[in-house]
Structure 1
Amino acid sequence: MAPRKFDLIAFDWDGTLIDSTALIATSLQEAARDLGLAVPTREEASHVIGLGLIQAFMWLWPDLEEGRHPALLERYRYHFLGRDREITLFPGVREMLGVLRAQGYLLTVATGKARQGLIRALEQAELTGFFDATRCADETASKPHPMMLLELIEEFGVEPDRVLMVGDTTHDLQMARNAGTAAVAVSCGAHPISELQREPSLAILDEVGALPRWLACHG
């Protein structure tokens, strides 16, 4: 058997492990309607998934006064938290994580969510305590800045070329490139394959559950 290439796997959360893209996009649209802002298209709202919320607001509404961000955040959370219990893990995710953990990989999360949002999501998915470490956008720099991955690299003392980022957006792939790590994309989330293909990655998988099979051949 060929030697393993990676020691640490960093997963994005929304759109990668959990099927939340539609609800996030809809919640952004509804928040805009509530405040009389220009309502983004589904494509525009999906594009910002993976960024921290403030960064997402700045991309969608670049002329919006900063003082209106708190109201927009409140309306987004109102719509999202009212339905987030409907969100489920993608099929096979729990089994996939179990396989990788048994194989000795360090499993981490690098997400655009805020810490409280990730805590809630992990509880609802019954994955609290499952990951070796997590990073959130309100505690470090938002993607595509490499800080999330660089902090994980430092925490575990691994080399960048031993880290694999797995995500569903170009933000994830750009973060990996900026941190000097490898990346695998999944096409089940926020960004279409046509966008994912514009950024460097080792593969674009149909679903994250296929990762152990890919690693067995390539990682």
Structure 2
Amino acid sequence: MKIKFIAFDIDGVIFDSSFFIEEAYSEAIDLFCNKYASLSLKKPSRDEIIFVIGKTYKEIISYLFPYLPANYHEHFRSILLDILDTKIREKKGTLLPGTEEVISSLYIQGYFLGTASNGSQAYAEAVLQTYNLDKYFKEMKFVDFTYFNSKQDILSYYLKTYNLKNSELLMVGDRKVDLDAAKANNTYFCGIVGHGNQEEIIDSDFIIPSLYSLDTILNTI
């Protein structure tokens, strides 16, 4: 077994939030603007939101709400995260095909599993706990701008912490930021066409339609 550690992005790879994401932003904007009556935010469309999924919260808020003063960003994020947490735990979203079977199988086979997410700890925990996947993950890391400023930093942490060779870590993601993190650490990258598009991850070492095909990839490395 050449690969020892597999790092997963969450949205578009493990979980699909597209069913409720527009509604969540709409509710968050209503609550935010009720609280801060002097501010007005334009509600983004579903496509506009999905376009920025995978980026850090700082990039997302700056892109969707370019005129929102920076000192209000954390306030909006807090409101949004509470709403997202509720909707995830109410199972308004869904796991992507193959997630439960593949994740449990990889764990049984002895792979170390971790997350490499631009989302928050609360978001990752909500997804993994709601679907009883947290028991399979050795690590749950996310870009927090305290310990990790990028997914590149997370993969570097895994390499050092687990004393891995670059060729022993596989990153699985659906956006260019995932691919870039793997390339920066000279690790393998497996792309899935999730919230992004295939052109975005065309330089992947492997591209698969769903997690069901991941075992096949692992057997070729």
Coarse TM-score class (shorter-chain normalised): 0.7 to 0.9
Alignment of 1:1-219 (within 5 A): 4-28=1-25, 31-32=28-29, 35=33, 36-84=40-88, 85-86=90-91, 87-138=93-144, 139-143=146-150, 145-187=151-193, 189-197=194-202, 200-216=203-219, 218-219=220-221
Change beyond 3 A, Cα 1:156–1:193: same
Change in Cα spacing, 1:82 to 1:115, as seen in structure 2 (3 Å) is: closer
Native 8 Å contact 1:55 1:142 kept in 2: no
- Deviation of 1:190 after TM superposition, in Å, equals 1.1
CA, structure 1 residues 119+81, in 2 after alignment: closer, same or farther (shift >3 Å)? closer
Residues of 1 paired with 2:198 and 2:45: CA distance?
18
Are 2:81 and 2:123, in contact at CA under 8 Å, matched by a contact in 1? no
**Contact 1:149/1:176 (CA < 8 Å) preserved in 2?**
yes
- For 1:173 and 1:136, the matched residues in 2 are separated by 16
Segment drifting more, 45-54 vs 23-32: 23-32
Give the Cα separation in 1 of the matches to 2:72 and 2:109: 47
1:165·1:184 contact (CA, 8 Å) conserved in 2? yes
Distance 1:177 1:208 in 2: 21
Distance 1:176 1:44 in 2: 26
| Shift of residue 106, structure 1, vs aligned partner | 1.5
Distance change (3 Å), C-alpha of 1:42 and 1:140: farther
Q: Number of matched residues?
A: 211
Q: Aligned in 2, Cα 1:26/1:193: closer, same or farther, shift over 3 Å?
A: farther
TM-score by length of 2: 0.83
CA apart distance, 1:26: 4.5
**TM-score, normalised with respect to structure 1:** 0.84
Task: Give the letter for the 1:69 counterpart.
Answer: H
SS for the counterpart of 1:146 is helix
Distance 2:15 2:63 in 1: 23
Alpha carbons 2:15, 2:127 under 8 Å: kept:
no
**Distance between the aligned counterparts of 1:152 and 1:207, measured in 2?**
24
Q: Report the Cα offset of residue 32 of structure 1.
A: 4.7
CA 82–102 in structure 1, closer or farther in 2 if over 3 Å, else same: closer
